[in-house]
Amino acid sequence: MTAPDLFSPITFGSIEAKNRIVLAPLTRNRAGAGNVPQAIAVTYYTQRASGGLLITEATQVSPEGQGYPDTPGIHSPEQIAGWKKVTDSVHAAGGKIVLQLWYTGRISHSVFRGGKTPVSASAIKPSGHVYLPGWTKADYETPRALETTEIPGIIAEYAAGAKNAKQAGFDGVEIHAANGYLIDQFLRDSANQRTDQYGGSIENRVRFLVEVTEAVAAAWGSGDGVGVRLSPHNPYNDMSDSDPVALFTHAAASLKRFGLAFVHVVEPIGTPNPIAPAIKAAIAAPLIVNGGYDLGTSQSAIAAGETDAVAFGKLYIANPDLAERLKAGGPYNEPNPKTFYGGGAAGYIDYPALAKA
């Protein structure tokens, strides 16, 4: 048997992927009325089906989980029907696709929440700006700390999102526990100063993630269709932690019992003190890494046993046939950052594939 590389098949729990090239979850802000995925989303995901696994853009599990304009949801019948068109088309093209379950927490605004203040682990306002509907910029608001008694209701929304994703035909779900959104706000101590069983010690800060994962795995039917995304070092959304190595290796060890499909770690290449391999060992699930990888660095990371698969973001935005292009060693289209967020077909479904020889 030859050593695996980027083009070798891999099994993520119950999901058989034809290669180890993964579409990273990418916010594109092109949902229609009611935050329903549109026909252009069907085209966008289907164009990328030659990758082994597609992870959808972050998708709010409830109306109150939203924090950006025109992001899709997975809480209404219309959204489920919209996503079903995506999954049917990706499957017909031979692809596999999982839905990313999202609740933004403090990275939101009362305008998205029917006038209600955003919620978080603690009442700590992040630095930075939120974009309101229509793309006007506003300061973040100081969030309200969730009452201990409210937490089961939020967990139930993640579980309902997983059930709805199953109904929409997805191959699995990814729990978004990264990048400063609600679960990460519980994990990292710059955002969590709670004094109940969800704050303080590492074990307590990991509790919300573990309870969400338990509920999502039960809603899905088992853990083997469920992945988790973590970002131990990412400062995005005003996040930090006093001991990320201890926190995230404990988080991974706490998730081992669910037999998850994969763990997905946002850890830009060259990150000092990388802990993705320790996370993989602790969780005992296939590892997907994400953050600035190219063909050469992906192949060396897989060959060295540092990861099992690699998720690509910007490169996959600009190259729908990324798997074929990596196989050919390029060339690659350049991504245009002006069309990353919002708009329509331009910069979304009009990047050309390589001409067939």
CB of 28 to ligand PHB, least distance (A): 9
Size of the site for ligand PHB (CB under 6 A): 5
CB of 135 to ligand PHB, least distance (A): 12
What one-character-per-residue DSSP string does 262-309 give? EEEEE--TT-SS--HHHHHHHHTS-EEEESS--HHHHHHHHHTTS-SE
CB of 176 to ligand PHB, least distance (A): 6
CB of 148 to ligand PHB, least distance (A): 26
108 binds ligand PHB, rule: CB under 6 A: no
Of 7 and 340, which has the nearer Cβ to ligand PHB? 340
Which residue number places its CB atom closest to ligand PHB? 27
- Within a 10 A sphere around the Cβ of 33, how many other Cβ atoms? 8
User: Does residue 26 contact residue 342 with C-beta atoms inside 8 Å?
Assistant: no
What 8-state DSSP symbol labels residue 173?
A: E
Of 209 and 295, which has the nearer Cβ to ligand PHB? 209
User: Does residue 44 contact residue 52 with C-beta atoms inside 8 Å?
Assistant: no
Of 95 and 180, which has the nearer Cβ to ligand PHB? 180
Q: How many angstroms separate the CA atoms of 101 and 159, rounded?
A: 9
User: Which residues from 166-205 bind ligand PHB, rule CB under 6 A?
Assistant: 178-179
181 is catalytic: yes
Identify the active-site residue in 181, 293, 316, 341.
181
Site string for ligand PHB, 14-43 (x = CB under 6 A): -------------x----------------
What 8-state DSSP symbol labels residue 320?
A: T
Of 27 and 213, which has the nearer Cβ to ligand PHB? 27
Residue 60 DSSP SS3: strand
Q: How far is CA 65 from CA 59, 104, 128, 336, in A?
A: 9, 5, 19, 28
Of 7 and 236, which has the nearer Cβ to ligand PHB? 236
Q: How far is CA 259 from CA 9, 10, 158, 178, in A?
A: 20, 16, 18, 20
58 binds ligand PHB, rule: CB under 6 A: yes
Q: How far apart are the first and last CA of the chain?
A: 31
| One of 68, 262, 316, 351 touching ligand PHB (CB under 6 A) | 68
56 binds ligand PHB, rule: CB under 6 A: no
Instruction: Report the candidate in 70, 249, 261, 92 with the shortest Cα–Cα distance to residue 162.
Output: 261
130 binds ligand PHB, rule: CB under 6 A: no
Which residue ranges make up the site for ligand PHB (CB under 6 A)? 27, 58, 68, 178-179
**Which positions are annotated as active-site residues?**
181
